[in-house]
Amino acid sequence: QKEVEQNSGPLSVPEGAIASLNCTYSDRGSQSFFWYRQYSGKSPELIMSIYSNGDKEDGRFTAQLNKASQYVSLLIRDSQPSDSATYLCALTNTGNQFYFGTGTSLTVIP
Amino acid sequence: DAGVIQSPRHEVTEMGQEVTLRCKPISGHNSLFWYRQTMMRGLELLIYFNNNVPIDDSGMPEDRFSAKMPNASFSTLKIQPSEPRDSAVYFCASSRTGGGNQPQHFGDGTRLSIL
């Protein structure tokens, strides 16, 4: 079982809609969770971090963490074409090891 | 503050040649990570250092790959001899701790093509 699982997509949403990206993980003791955005041909860029259960909002982005169900999600409100990218979920597990998911490709259609 | 700096940005060489990739982490970050990214395999951790010491090199694919961190501000990833299947984008990242609650920050990557 992989440490981090993501649906590779592609996920397509119309401009202005809410994009929902999901990630599940296997190590129940994982502590820290991150969302990275990677544009084609570019490096991963940190957009959100979350450490405790619940929601964390930053502008149009909301990260949600549910440790009991072992999932973390990223919501993008009012999606824009510039949000089109691959979104990588990452975490550190109980062994303090850092893992990335394989990423979900998002396309926002104008 | 300057981010993670990698060089070269692009490298094209013939198989069998030695390739050296370079990385300068963000000042004050004491952990450094080397990744390889391909379409087929995604982002793979090759090796990471904490306080200049290699902690986990289980991701290094073969003995042809080696990495060093002689000081806190410089690291190299070397491939000798290189093979076409080594073609990928290689990223260096750094963080403040050994991967705990601090995120990693990535350099722009080196796009490596082995002919």
Closest chain A CA to residue B5: A43
A95 pLDDT higher than 80: no
A98 pLDDT higher than 90: no
Do A73 and A61 contact (CB within 8 A), yes or no? no
Closest CA to B79 of B11, B2, B30: B11
Tens of pLDDT along B36-81? 999 888 889 999 999 999 988 988 988 999 999 999 999 999 999 9
Predicted pLDDT at B78: 98
Q: Closest partner residue to B107 among A32, A43, A103, by Cβ?
A: A43
How many residues are recorded in chain B?
115
What secondary structure letter does DSSP report for A48? E
Task: Indicate yes or no: CB of B99 within 8 angstroms of CB of A45.
Answer: no
Tens of pLDDT along B3-29? 999 999 999 999 999 999 999 999 999
What secondary structure letter does DSSP report for B98? S
**Beta carbons within 10 angstroms of residue B81's beta carbon:** 13
Question: How far apart (Å, rounded) are the C-alpha atoms in residues A5 and A22?
Answer: 9
Do B81 and B15 contact (CB within 8 A), yes or no? yes
Question: How far apart (Å, rounded) are the C-alpha atoms in residues B10 and B20?
Answer: 12
B99 pLDDT higher than 60: no
Do A35 and A44 contact (CB within 8 A), yes or no? no
Token pair in block for residue A53: 């259960």
Predicted pLDDT at B11: 96
Contacts of A69 (CB under 8 A, 6+ apart): none
Q: Closest partner residue to A98 among B104, B107, B108, by Cβ?
A: B104
Task: Indicate yes or no: CB of B103 within 8 angstroms of CB of A97.
Answer: no
Task: Indicate yes or no: CB of A96 within 8 angstroms of CB of B98.
Answer: yes
Do A100 and B43 contact (CB within 8 A), yes or no? yes
Percent of chain A surpassing pLDDT 90: 80
Q: Closest partner residue to B108 among A43, A97, A98, by Cβ?
A: A43
Tens of pLDDT along A39-72? 999 999 999 999 999 999 999 999 999 999 999 9
Q: Which of A39, A87, A98 to mutate to test the interface with B (most CBs of B within 10 A)?
A: A98
Token pair in block for residue A76: 């993008």
Do A23 and A11 contact (CB within 8 A), yes or no? no
